[in-house]
Amino acid sequence: MAELGYVGLGVMGSSVVRRLLAAGHTVTVWNRTPEKAEPLLTAGARWADSPREAAERSEVVFTMVTNTEAGQAVTRGGDGILAGLAPGTIYVDMSTASPANARALADEVEARGAKLLDAPVSGTSLTVDEGKASLMVGGDADAFERAKPVLEAIGPKVFHLGGNGTAVTLKIAINLSLAVQMLAFCEGVLLAEKSGIDRERAVEAMLASVIASPMVTYRGPLVLGHPDEVWFDCRMMQKDMNLALELGRDLEVPLPTTSITNEFLTAANGMGIGDKDFAVIFDVLASLAGVETEVIA
């Protein structure tokens, strides 16, 4: 069993740590808001006083933060992860940054004699909890082989895709389909509903069909009503869409469904409902179809 560090205990990060603990690893955690660590400490995790300390104590140290600024905050400075990386350590960044950022960070990590793997996780915390998450990994092949047993504790499907940045790229390539599949699903639901089919019945039948990806299966029912907890709001979804659209322009790949779907996320923000799970694009489309919903009465 390995000595691990984990920095960033949001909903997803906490799910990952629970699986690492359950697999018998020692996990030292740090989070900007310490309260979020409590259930994990109860479950056996240890507390570090800084990201640096989490790195110093670990063979493999992870980060999972929501944006570039938060990433800077936990890696840089005297208390940052970079300062704590001993030679031979593996640093696994599970955040979704831009591929260019991943490559730049890899160079800095290498300068410390350590190795960076970019390993964004696809799916939600539910997928992780159920042991169904797949991990795409970019970076040095040797470092990947060494980290693999630990990564397999997170999810059974672990893919090495190539050098640093490739895993983030693939995550982005996958995530654009989250929003597009959802908007297409909403178009179908509204067609059914305005044809006189009960919305709940329509969702049930659609979830039994060949279009029911795991994403559609857990997010589709949100068109019937949003839970209090928000999984992935419009702004987070749009961050990934923007990364996709930037990549598309740089690599010269047209992205027709991504670009049009992104405008509906913008509309959710414009309508003031962008802080809900991005399934709220249903409500945006419903407003255009003259259909009332819980969210836009």
Interaction residues for a copy of itself, span 135-154 (CB under 8 A)? 136
Of 66 and 269, which CB lies nearer to a copy of itself in the complex structure?
Answer: 269
Stretch that binds a copy of itself, among 12-20, 44-52, 103-111, 264-272 (CB under 8 A): 264-272
Question: In this chain, which of 77, 149, 188, 221 binds a copy of itself, going by CB under 8 A?
Answer: 188
The answer to the question of residue 269 lying near a copy of itself (CB under 8 A) is: yes
Q: Please tell me whether residue 190 binds a copy of itself under the rule CB under 8 A.
A: yes
> In the complex, what is the shortest distance from the CB of residue 94 to a copy of itself, in angstroms, rounded to a whole number?
15
- CB proximity list for 156: less than 8 A, separation 6 or greater: 131, 132, 134
Q: Considering the complex, state which of residue 73 and residue 126 has its C-beta at the smaller distance from a copy of itself.
A: 126
Q: Does 123 bind a copy of itself (CB under 8 A)?
A: yes
- Three-state SS for 279? helix
For residue 58, state whether it binds a copy of itself (rule: CB under 8 A). Answer: no
Give how far the C-alpha of residue 12 lies from the chain's centroid of Cα atoms, to the nearest Å: 7
| Distant-in-sequence, close-in-space partners of 7: CB < 8 Å, separation ≥ 6 | 29, 30, 31, 51, 54, 61, 62, 63, 64, 65, 74, 81
**Which candidate, 124, 51, 132, 46, places its Cα nearest to that of 91?**
51
Interface with a copy of itself, residue 224, by CB under 8 A:
no
Q: What is the footprint of a copy of itself within residues 12-41 (CB under 8 A)?
A: none
Locate 198 and state its tokens. 């009960």
